[in-house]
Each structure stands twice: as structure tokens, then as C-alpha cells.
Amino acid sequence: MTKKLLKIESLPNYIDGSWTEGNEFTSVINPANGKKIVNVPLSNDEDVDVTVKAAQAAQKKWALVPAPQRAEILYNIGQLMKERKDDIARLLTLENGKVLEEARGEVQEGIDMAFYMAGEGRRLFGQTTNAELPDKFAMSVRSPVGVVGIITPWNFPIAIATWKTFPALIAGNAVVWKPATETPIMAYELAKICEEAGLPKGLLNVVYGSGSSVGDAMVHHPDIHVISFTGSNETGIRIAEACGRQLKKYSLELGGKNAVIVMEDADLDLAVEGIIWSAYGTSGQRCTACSRVIVHEDVKEKLEGKLLEQIKTLKVGNGLEDGIVMGPIINEAGLEKIKKYIEIGKNEGARLLTGGNELSITSSEDGYYFEPTLFTDATIDMRIAQEEVFGPVISIIPVNSFDEAIEANNSVSYGLSSSIFTNDVNRVYRAQRDLDTGIVYVNAGTTGAEIHLPFGGTKGTGNGHRDSGIQALDVFTEWKAIYVDYSGKLQRAQIDVE
């Protein structure tokens, strides 16, 4: 039934308002059962070049449309997404595997972002200030950068795209978007909605293809002025190097190694709920997933017992089925990576309390499933406590004090999300100050960001930019300082006269 929602065999690119058939294709696989869903084109650098030219022409006109009018189209987009939320969510589960209620939540983030950025159409605030000379006016305004390149991962195939696309559009830019090859259907759905919502042609373009061909061509294209990327550190560094050589602006949202800290005074049942949700939601394949639990020795055994009890109840399977709380892993490579880290953890001396194996689900034979896994007695120097596994694997790290907990949290090269469970108000304030991450939660897990706040991290999680929130506008605009001298004579600033 869900497959029928798509109604086509091969996805077309969406270039300059036209649906363009590809020449070469690869298959999109449903991770829940290993079956093919649809074909997706493998485009090349010539396709990118044609797209950028069209986007440039469209952007010139779009930049002159008053922002409140641009906003009207974003409102339409949000409304259409809202009307089709359930169908889009089903297709999202089909291509990505996450359970349906998470898929609905992800589509809702896109809807929220559309309305939020539409509101920016009547703000996009700059500043006015006093000039240092008489009869002179000074202000700063945001201006669009031109054509922006957006490269997105498979784990949040629609939400992340909207965090980038909608701020880019409201600010007067045109977008060339390359979605991850595993999850291209969300791009098709969003492009259809943009077309129906009245977005002029050439402003949102979707070019499918591999990162090494389409992605690389975008990064190196001289007329793409910003690259906004979310994905792995390996790819992010490659993009940073290439953009650096061209003096091109780039925004990177990369990996995480996020921890929940549980202090001895915490509400342990609440902490367990927070840990289970943020560690095993999306099968642990979130950049904000909890993969470390830093626990005070006094409550370690109790917490382990409660976690084990809960883990036993988790139903793993096809995310479209009722009652499933954990869906499949995205593909074979993802599964292999998790298995590798299980061996690494065991060899390093972490103690496996439960899980650690690939799972076979009778109703979804060729899907990619893994058991929710819990290691304990990990230490901060172990690879399992330092590196991103991107699967349903928690490592418990025991500590003896609040200070040790903060130090353990900050011991990794990433800095995306962190959380502390405690009822001590002084510790809450010290933690929010001292946890070196872009997102901090108190008495909640490590996931659950809201779109009107900045999203991103410190250290190896990125390069200082943020998605979502008004901060996203900084990626897609240049600040222009404007001086208007109405004195009728030449007034020389920066001249020191007695």
C-alpha cells in the first residue's frame, strides 16, 4: 500500500522546474526487507552545471521579490506538507526504516520550519545604528549569497533538507540540492510540493547522484557560493579542504558522541526513559543519539538493572508495523560497522550486558536489524567511548563525582549534544555552563531539538555554523553595511581632525 503512494518506477531530477529523466540509475532499497522501492538517477557534473546556470538566472529575479511575498510561497509549502503529512511519513519510513511515529515527527519538523521561516519574511532583521558623523545614516542588511548547494544525509532526509532549504529561499537564494542516494524519495516529494506551492522554476533544484560525482561537482562549482553540508566527518573534512582552497563559504554539521550523565540524586526511572529513547530511537542512527551513559558509581548497578528490564521490552522490526519501537539499520555497510564496534568494545574490555548481535526478523527476512545493545564498565579512553558507532549501542562509563562526569562528557572530539539527570539546581547551572556541546538537556535525553533554536555543535561536530533557528540565516546571507550621507558635502570618516 505504501509503495503505491509513489506511483513511479524511476525518480526524475527536478531541474529548472522540469522533471528530467536520468540516463543511469541505481536502486533504492527498503532497509526493512531488502526489497527495491524505486530507481534513482546517477547524475554527473554536466547535470550540475546545467542546473547551476538555471538556478543563477532564477535567483536574480527571486532576490528582487519582496521577502513577505517569498514568504507566501513558504506558507503554501508548509500547508501542503501538512495536508500530506501522513503519506510523506509513510514514504519516509519506506526508504529510511525509522518507525512511523518518528517519521511523522520528522515531517512535522519540516512543516514547522516552513512556517517559522515564512515568518522571517517579515523580519530578516538587520540593524540601524548611529553614524560617527553628523547627517549620516548607518545600517546593516542581509543580502542573499546567490546559488547555494545543499548536501544531506539519509538519517533525516526531509527535516535536515528543510532546515537548510527554507532559510536559503526566504533570504532570496536559489538552491541546488543533492540528497543522499539511500533516501531520495523525500526530495522528490518536497520538489513536487514546491512546484505546486508556486515556487518559481529554478529556485529549488534536485540533482540525484553519488557524493563523489554530483556532490563533488557542487563543491567545486565556481557559481555555487555556499555549501551547506550535513553528514560524516570524513566527507565534511574533504568538503572543507575543497571549499577552503576556493575561499568558498561552507557550513558543516557532522558527527556526535553524545552522553547522558546520571547523578546519584537523579530520578532513575526518568533517566532510563530518556536514555532508551535517545539511544535506540531511529535505531541509534541520529547525530544526537545517546551512545554513552556516564553514571555515578552509587547508582550504577540500579541503573543497569532498570535499563536491562526496559531493553527486554523493545520490539524491533519493520517501522510500518504497529507496536515496533526500533526499525532497521540503513544498509549492510551500517550493520557491518556496528558489528565491528561490538568486537572492538569486547576486545577493549568493556562488558557486554545485552545485545551485540544482528537480528533476524521473520516477517522482514532480508532487512538489516541489530539488537539493542548495552556495554558497561567502559572507560573514556576506549574507542567504543570515543568514536561514533551510529547504531543502537550504549556504553556505560562509571564515575565518582560531578566533576569527573563533566570531564568524561567533554573527553571526546565531538561536541553536539549532552544531557544531565539530577535534581540539584546548582549542578544544573554548572552543567549547562561546563558541558562543551552545542545542545544541553537537563532531565531529558540527548535528542529532541526544536527548530526555532540553533542546531549544531562544538569541536569536531562542525565548523561553528548552525542549522535551524534564525542562526541558519547567517549561512545563507552576507551582511552588507550601508552608509547614507545626507549632509550634502564630503564628510571624511576615519580622518582624525583636531
- Whether 102 is a known active-site residue: answer no
CA–CA separation, 292 vs 384, rounded Å?
9
Contact 190, 162 (CB under 8 A): yes
Partners of residue 329 on adjacent β-strands: none
The residues binding ligand NAP (CB under 6 A) are 151-156, 160, 178, 180-181, 210-212, 215-216, 219, 230-232, 235, 238-239, 253-256, 287, 388, 390, 416, 461
Q: Least separation, in Å, of the C-beta of 367 and ligand NAP?
A: 19
Work out the number of other CB atoms within 10 angstroms of the CB of residue 446.
29
Q: Least separation, in Å, of the C-beta of 413 and ligand NAP?
A: 12
Residues 6 or more apart whose CB falls under 8 angstroms from that of 428 comprise: 420, 422, 442
Q: Least separation, in Å, of the C-beta of 236 and ligand NAP?
A: 7
Q: Least separation, in Å, of the C-beta of 150 and ligand NAP?
A: 10
CA–CA separation, 251 vs 469, rounded Å?
14
Residue 9 burial (10 A CB sphere; 0-12, 13-18, 19+): exposed
Considering the complex, state which of residue 210 and residue 310 has its C-beta at the smaller distance from ligand NAP.
Answer: 210
Q: Least separation, in Å, of the C-beta of 420 and ligand NAP?
A: 20
Closest CA to 197 of 172, 235, 166: 166
Considering the complex, state which of residue 202 and residue 215 has its C-beta at the smaller distance from ligand NAP.
Answer: 215
Work out the number of other CB atoms within 10 angstroms of the CB of residue 51.
31
Of the listed 287, 290, 304, 371, which one is catalytic?
A: 287
Pairing of strands 127-130, 36-41: unpaired
Pairing of strands 417-421, 439-442: parallel
Contact 418, 458 (CB under 8 A): no
Q: Least separation, in Å, of the C-beta of 82 and ligand NAP?
A: 24
Q: Least separation, in Å, of the C-beta of 131 and ligand NAP?
A: 40
User: What's the 3-state SS for 364-419?
Assistant: HCCCCEECCEEEECCCCCCHHHCCCCCCCEEEEEEECCHHHHHHHHCCCCEECEEE
Q: Least separation, in Å, of the C-beta of 380 and ligand NAP?
A: 20
CA–CA separation, 384 vs 375, rounded Å?
9
Reported as half-sphere exposure (CB side, CA atoms, 13 A), residue 493 has a value of 11
Considering the complex, state which of residue 146 and residue 153 has its C-beta at the smaller distance from ligand NAP.
Answer: 153
DSSP helix/strand/coil, 477: strand
Considering the complex, state which of residue 92 and residue 353 has its C-beta at the smaller distance from ligand NAP.
Answer: 92
CA–CA separation, 81 vs 494, rounded Å?
52
Considering the complex, state which of residue 71 and residue 187 has its C-beta at the smaller distance from ligand NAP.
Answer: 187
Of the listed 95, 102, 109, 253, which one is catalytic?
A: 253
CA 154, 159, 160, 161 dihedral sign is: positive
Considering the complex, state which of residue 118 and residue 416 has its C-beta at the smaller distance from ligand NAP.
Answer: 416
Which H or E run includes 20? strand 18-20
Residue 69 burial (10 A CB sphere; 0-12, 13-18, 19+): exposed
- Whether 182 is a known active-site residue: answer no
Work out the number of other CB atoms within 10 angstroms of the CB of residue 7.
7
Considering the complex, state which of residue 231 and residue 317 has its C-beta at the smaller distance from ligand NAP.
Answer: 231
Considering the complex, state which of residue 52 and residue 416 has its C-beta at the smaller distance from ligand NAP.
Answer: 416
**Position 382: which residue type?**
M
Which residues are designated catalytic?
253, 287
